[in-house]
Amino acid sequence: MTGTGTQVIVGLEVHCQLDTRSKLFCGCSTDYRNDGPNTHVCPVCLGLPGSMPVLNKKAIEYAMRVAKALNCSILHESEFSRKNYFYPDLDKAYQVTQYDKPLAEGGYLEIEGDEGGEKRVRLTRIHVEEDPGRLVHMGNAERGKYSLVDYNRAGIPLIEIVSEPDMRSPKEARKFLNKLRATLEYLGVFDSEKEGSIRVDANISIVGSERVEVKNITSYKGVEKALNFEITRQKNLLRRGLKVDRETRHFVEARGITQSARSKEQEHDYRYFPEPDLRPLHVRSWVAGIVLPELPDARRERFIAQYGCSLNHARTLTGELKLANFYEKVVAADPKGLATPAATWIADTLIGELNYRDMSLDSVDTRNFTGLVRLLNEGTITDKSGVEVLRVMLDQRHTKVPCETPEEIVARLNLAKTAGDGGALLGIISEVIAENPKAVEDYRNGKNGALNFLVGQVMKKTRGRSDPGELNRMMVESLKNKEG
């Protein structure tokens, strides 16, 4: 057990863009990513004098869905406030956010903890706010000549989810984010594939020392990297008898390091006050009307009960909405036969092959993948050939139209198992026995490794098309016959 001085404490503040069609306080479209700068703007989101905000009801509904799913208590009256500060991406010189009366408080999210089993990470609060605009640096931030500002993002609805400092490692922080992402996707309020749709501030400290805030981490992997860097940095300071300063640091994604922000951001006086243009928000009558869909934990348990998935497979498959849907589509054709092989092939093989190619699940043809699992399940091809067929299928997605079906690939590459073709296989076995007298003698002298060697030689000649179990049996049989 780790004692004082090494135990790590992590808390997260996660900003997620809600996937509404229009912005939080105006009718501008949120679908700005492929359009030119400052094309999704109006007097409201540009903060022009005299313009008045109108609250987007959908955004509040989405936020309440999240609050309910995360077991928070939704406050019957919440309030918007102005957070005043000057920065070029903030056209009004204040951000409309929620301060002392947030939408929801408390709640928790369950993750798979480092010590095994489910672990509850408590939440402090969830509040709604508007996204600021975006600065585009010409050149890079330090040496660029100038920066441009794009207000397309200004006014996009965000929720900020603040956790208690309940995580004990960067890995737990990653699991928290993954689970949060999955939950938001299941709720239909968030699109994780949109660039910049999630941003994280992480608080991290070593027990007994000051807390450091790392700001504006913009990727899931970045969170783990930033935390690992901070742990090493803070532990090194302590080892050298120095102290960790309480400060704000920025994560430099490209270099995988954090840098002191060198400003007194934490000492800012934001002069919060209630937003006079918006009335307090009363949601009492809405709460009961919010019906939640099946969430990741429930789906995981269902996969175990309905399809006989192992806990690990069920966790992996339900960890992303798309993946869970894909699995159920594949299995639908023949739940009894395909449930187990499909779980294994998706969780253990497909995901790895996709990651290796930097491909998304969208590029996998469900029908062809189902065909492949069928061939494996019926024993037409070996696992080794299955991987080969899968790789051909994935590689063809970008080069060949239309793609071959798995059956066509098996036929073209002559990958069907040779076991059915007993005569030919027996011939190869005899050949191998004749070519390796030493190994045959070793086998007769009771060296079991010799059998594996001989089987391996046959596998080589048949290019992995033989079923290893079947081949083993035939080899033993042949050796016995030769002896007789």
Q: Which residues bind Zn ion (CB under 5 A)?
A: 26, 28, 42, 44-45
Comparing CB distances to Zn ion, the nearer of 45 and 173 is: 45
Comparing CB distances to Zn ion, the nearer of 42 and 476 is: 42
Q: Least distance to Zn ion from the beta carbon of 23, Å? A: 5
Q: Least distance to Zn ion from the beta carbon of 156, Å? A: 10
Q: Least distance to Zn ion from the beta carbon of 25, Å? A: 8
- Contact partners, residue 208, CB within 8 Å, separation at least 6: 4, 5
Comparing CB distances to Zn ion, the nearer of 26 and 200 is: 26
Comparing CB distances to Zn ion, the nearer of 151 and 443 is: 151
Q: Least distance to Zn ion from the beta carbon of 154, Å? A: 8
Q: Least distance to Zn ion from the beta carbon of 40, Å? A: 7
| Neighbour order of strands in the sheet with 81-84 | 94-97, 81-84, 273-274
| Residue 452 CB neighbours (<10 A) | 15
Comparing CB distances to Zn ion, the nearer of 42 and 162 is: 42
- Contact partners, residue 359, CB within 8 Å, separation at least 6: 394, 397
Q: Least distance to Zn ion from the beta carbon of 47, Å? A: 10
d(Cα 61, Cα 219) in Å, to the nearest integer?
26
Q: Least distance to Zn ion from the beta carbon of 30, Å? A: 10
Closest CA to 199 of 179, 175, 181: 181
Comparing CB distances to Zn ion, the nearer of 25 and 345 is: 25
Dihedral in degrees, nearest 10, Cα atoms 15, 294, 107, 2: -80
Comparing CB distances to Zn ion, the nearer of 96 and 479 is: 96
d(Cα 204, Cα 272) in Å, to the nearest integer?
26
Comparing CB distances to Zn ion, the nearer of 60 and 66 is: 60
Q: Least distance to Zn ion from the beta carbon of 84, Å? A: 21
The one-letter code for the residue type at 2 is: T
Comparing CB distances to Zn ion, the nearer of 39 and 266 is: 39
Comparing CB distances to Zn ion, the nearer of 80 and 303 is: 80
Q: Least distance to Zn ion from the beta carbon of 92, Å? A: 12
Q: Is 188 left (phi over 0), alpha (psi -120 to 50) or beta?
A: left
Comparing CB distances to Zn ion, the nearer of 28 and 390 is: 28
Say if residue 238 is exposed, middle or buried (CB neighbours under 10 Å; 0-12, 13-18, 19+): middle
Q: Least distance to Zn ion from the beta carbon of 397, Å? A: 39
User: Using an 8 Å Cβ cutoff, are 151 and 136 in contact?
Assistant: no
Q: Least distance to Zn ion from the beta carbon of 21, Å? A: 13
Comparing CB distances to Zn ion, the nearer of 28 and 475 is: 28
In degrees and rounded to multiples of 5, residue 75 shows phi and psi of -75, 135
